[in-house]
Each structure stands twice: as C-alpha cells, then as structure tokens.
Amino acid sequence: MHSACTENLVLWLGISNKITMIMMMLYSWFVCLEDRDMWKAKEEFQAEQLAELLYETCAKSYQYGSPWSAHQFIEDIQQKHSMYIVLLADSQLIGFISVQTILDEMEVTHCVVSKEHQGQGYAKKLLEKLFQYAEEKAISRIFLEVRQMHQKAQTLYQSMGFEPYYTRKQYYHHPIEDAVLMKREFSKEECYK
C-alpha cells in the first residue's frame, strides 16, 4: 500500500511538473507577444510619413472616416505641445493615441486602433501607456470627447477612470451628433510620485 501511494505521488509530481512546464512555456509565449509590441513617439518618424500613416488608419478605422486630413495631422505633429504614442507589432501599425498638453492638463485628440486589431485590448494598452506618461509629467487631468452613439468607447473610457461631465450638442458632423465630454482626474499622489 505504501508503494502505491509513492507511485501515485511520483505520477502526480510528473503531471504537476509537465503542467508547470506548459504554463511556463505559455507565459514565455505571452511575454514574447508583449515584446513584439513596440512603442514609438512622433519624433521617431518623419512628419509627412507619420501623418499619412495616421490618416490612413483613421480613414479605415473610424465609422465615418478620418475627422482630420493628412495636412491637419502634419500641422499637429509639428506642434511642440502635441504628443503621439504609436503602437506597432511586427512593423505594422496597431493603433495610436494623440494628445495636446497645456500646463498640467492633456486633451486626447485621437485614440485609434486599426480595424483588424479592434476588440483585442489595444485601446486599453494605449490609455495605460498614456497614464504612465501623465504620471511622469505630473498631469492633473485628461480630457476627451466621444460620439454619443459610441457606447463601446464610452464603456472603455469609464472603465479607465474617465467620467462624463458635459454633452456638447451637434458637435460632430457627417453625420451630426452630440459629443460626450469626459475627464479623468489624477490624485496629488499620482501626480507627484
């Protein structure tokens, strides 16, 4: 009987070790996927090249096409107070977030994930990266606006700490639609880490 218990224990340890090995392999696979994601700032691109890439991504990803022309992107990229965080995987643009910073506040001008990568958590990753930057720069609040009918985006923003505070009537065109203004406040502890 003692021998049977020992054999069962050895068998269990063998299975346990295999499960551990499989879990370690899966973990390293996920880490490799994470490592494939590459973050870039606007300064790592030529302005015209980046503007065209961003415009094409918006045109394909937004339901009603890009709200900005390639020229508007170029002008914004060249501004000192604008910042673009671009997410690439295997040299392919996954998405980007752009903001304008004035003093200790930021306004999100775009948060876009390419159509084929939507629903995979990349918008959340972009926002998390933005929050890291905001903490480093002691930003006290971040503002954004979103189409009233875009419930998925509003749900994501609320899950990330944004709260609606005002509705701007007939703000969007093509088609005409209200904008929900949202903000996320950072505590003093978050601002001055």
CB 57 within 8 A of CB 73: no
Q: Is 133 a catalytic residue?
A: no
Q: Is 145 a catalytic residue?
A: yes
For 59, the token pair is 């045109």
Q: How far apart are the first and last CA of the chain?
A: 61
Catalytic residue among 7, 145, 189, 192: 145
Of 136, 179, 186, 188, the closest CA to residue 161 belongs to 186
Catalytic residue among 55, 84, 157, 172: 157
Of 91, 100, 93, 105, the closest CA to residue 72 belongs to 100
Of 89, 150, 154, the closest CA to residue 122 belongs to 89
Longest dimension (CA), the chain: 81
Q: Which residues are catalytic?
A: 145, 157
